[in-house]
Amino acid sequence: MLSVEDYRAQVMTGVTALAPIEMPLIDAHGCVLATEVSAPWPLPSFDNSSMDGYAVVSADLAGASSEHPARLTVVDDVPAGFRATEVVVPGVAIRIMTGAPMPDGADAVVPVEKTDGGTDLVQVNEPVSLGANIRLAGEDVLLGDVVMYPGTYLTARQLSLLASVGKGSVLVHPKPRVVVISTGSELVEPGTELRRGLITDSNSYLLVAAAQEAGAVAFRLPPVIDDEDVFMSTLEDQLHFADLIITSGGVSMGAYDTVKAVLSRLGTVTFAKVAMNPGMPQGYGRIGPSATPIITLPGNPVSAYVSFETFVRPVIRTMQGHKDIYRPYVQAICEVELASPPAKRQFVRAKFGGADKATVTPVRGQGSHAVGGLSQADCFIVIPAGQAAVAAGATVDVIDLRNW
């Protein structure tokens, strides 16, 4: 049996970030930036008003109060997107809206709330300090500043900045295209009639969703029966398209374990036993003319999910261009005593609890088929190989699954 680390190192060998492509900015959402971006203009790019109000010479309002308001002649009106055609001189104001360029001569903006709102003549009830309510050019970002580095994950916040510096498209690592194929003659589509002995294919939904949560664009195929020719032709159809193929089922010691039987013969796919529970039978390799990576997961749903988290998610994240590809261990207090077969690393499905979410409790239903238990879990308690038990109240390593 291989350790989790040794097997994972084999699976990760030769896996690299997908070659960068230029993408329309909106499609780059959720991708990893492959280039440095600098600002071709400062942000803001011109001095502008941060309030709806009046651009003034601040000295004009030195003694203004509601009893003795200052009175200014309004000579112009600038909405956002326009420039003033007049200048501000002592005794004069220009009505201005948020985001409009500061008129020449003005050194402050009085918010409309501090005035009577006049359009020809305005009364101002308060003084204003020099520079008030002006957003200065470059106060956020300077011309030529590097605003983003390669490796940046592009969320809504980053798209906002890229758009602001004029990037209509950007060079990113594309999201890997992942194809998920469930195998098993017992599988039917959810929503269709369940005859005795059949079950619904849940793994393809589990794995497509998990792949998407990991950052892939994932595609689901209808379940494939345990037939070598059907499986092979289904696989071949996907080879020209997929960056990664994930299969579920058919990799154990059963008589109809088609995936293992067919792929073993190719000589490019390795099957192994990994010292983990659940998820011992595993396989990975490359197939087809482009040596497309394939990872063959066990069919039991919980095994498939633990295996996905352990081996497939790091592959997807690497292809996507991430540097931090593993979920870190966090520590928590285990509320109950646990026994653990010491030959294997245990991934106990558990739930955070306590006021500060600092404790963990195993969910009910720890079988590798137990999708009910899995749906309750938001973490794995990880018990290392070699350890036979965990005492109640002990600190344990936990993989937090609450964030994608």
Residues near ligand AMP (CB under 6 A) are 182, 184, 186-187, 199, 201-204, 248-250, 252, 254, 298-301
Q: Which is nearer to Mg ion, 154 or 304 (CB)?
A: 304
Tell me which of Mg ion, ligand AMP, none is bound by residue 101, counting a contact when its beta carbon lies within the kind-specific cut-off of 5 to 8 angstroms: none
Tell me which of ligand AMP, Mg ion, none is bound by residue 77, counting a contact when its beta carbon lies within the kind-specific cut-off of 5 to 8 angstroms: none
Tell me which of Mg ion, ligand AMP, none is bound by residue 103, counting a contact when its beta carbon lies within the kind-specific cut-off of 5 to 8 angstroms: none
Q: How far is the CB of 340 from ligand AMP (least distance, A)?
A: 22
Phi-psi region of 160 (alpha: psi -120 to 50; beta: other; left: phi over 0): alpha
Tell me which of Mg ion, ligand AMP, none is bound by residue 212, counting a contact when its beta carbon lies within the kind-specific cut-off of 5 to 8 angstroms: none
Say whether 342 sits in a helix, a strand or coil: coil
Number of Cβ within 10 Å of residue 360's Cβ equals: 27
Decide if residue 20 touches Mg ion (CB under 5 A).
no
Written as one string, the DSSP assignment of 11-76 is: HHTT--PPPPEEEEGGGGTTSEE-S-EE-SS-BSSS-EESSSEEEE-GGGGTT--SSS-EEEEEEE
Tell me which of ligand AMP, Mg ion, none is bound by residue 199, counting a contact when its beta carbon lies within the kind-specific cut-off of 5 to 8 angstroms: ligand AMP
Q: Which is nearer to ligand AMP, 54 or 305 (CB)?
A: 305
**Of residues 249-308, those binding Mg ion (CB under 5 A):** 249-250, 299
Q: Count each helix (H run) and each strand (E run) in the chain, helices first.
A: 8, 28
Report the chain's terminal Cα–Cα distance, integer Å.
30
Q: How far is the CB of 228 from ligand AMP (least distance, A)?
A: 14
Measured over the CA atoms of residue 401, residue 248, residue 205 and residue 20, the dihedral's sign is: positive
Q: How far is the CB of 258 from ligand AMP (least distance, A)?
A: 9
Q: How far is the CB of 257 from Mg ion (least distance, A)?
A: 6
Number of Cβ within 10 Å of residue 13's Cβ equals: 8
- Can you tell me the distance from the alpha carbon of 42 to that of 143, in angstroms, rounded to the nearest whole number? 4
Q: How far is the CB of 371 from ligand AMP (least distance, A)?
A: 8
- Can you tell me the distance from the alpha carbon of 378 to that of 400, in angstroms, rounded to the nearest whole number? 7
The tokens for 41 are 């203009």
Tell me which of Mg ion, ligand AMP, none is bound by residue 15, counting a contact when its beta carbon lies within the kind-specific cut-off of 5 to 8 angstroms: none
The site for Mg ion, by CB under 5 A, has a size of 4
Tell me if 248 sits within 8 A of 298, measured CB to CB: yes
Q: How far is the CB of 282 from ligand AMP (least distance, A)?
A: 11
**Of residues 173-232, those binding Mg ion (CB under 5 A):** 184
Which residues lie near Mg ion (CB under 5 A)?
A: 184, 249-250, 299
